Amino acid sequence: MGYTVMAARLAVTNGTDNFSNAIGMGGGNAVQVDAVCFNLGGATSYTIEVQGSNDGANWSVVTANSGLVLGYSAPTKSTGVGFSMIRYRYSVSSGSGTIIIYAGCNISHQ
């Protein structure tokens, strides 16, 4: 449990999904997303979807943090996460172009 950097200078282009590496939950059951986003050419909002898995092959949506805007975002913590590992899926929600994302994850027990 603790803080993990999930993305550093990740370029996400409209129409393309990007995924973080999977990380173990380490006995935790809550996930707090935080992110900083910079705009490069027209994208105005983005989504970070937290996905969970117990086998690393089949992924389910835990929560979709959509409508995140440029600058710093810390959406509501996801609790009751019943998976052994998680990953993030990044996508541009509106606008076109590319965004640059720095994202982190704080796993805790609630």
* 96 has pLDDT over 90: no
Give the homologous superfamily in CATH for domain 2-108: Galactose-binding domain-like (2.60.120.260)
* 74 has pLDDT over 80: yes
Residues 6+ apart with CB under 8 A from 58: none
- What the block records as the tokens of 32 is 């707090």
Closest CA to 49 of 25, 71, 69, 20: 20
- Determine how β-strand 2-13 pairs with β-strand 98-108: antiparallel
Each residue's pLDDT tens digit, 25-62: 999 999 999 999 987 678 888 999 999 999 999 999 99
Q: What mean pLDDT is reported for the chain?
A: 92
Q: Tokens 């994208």 — which residue? A: 43
Residue type present at position 18:
N
What's the rounded mean pLDDT across residues 1-5?
Answer: 87
> How many Å from the N-terminal Cα to the C-terminal Cα in the chain?
12
What's the rounded mean pLDDT across residues 54-78?
Answer: 92
Q: Where exactly are the structural domains of the chain?
A: 2-108
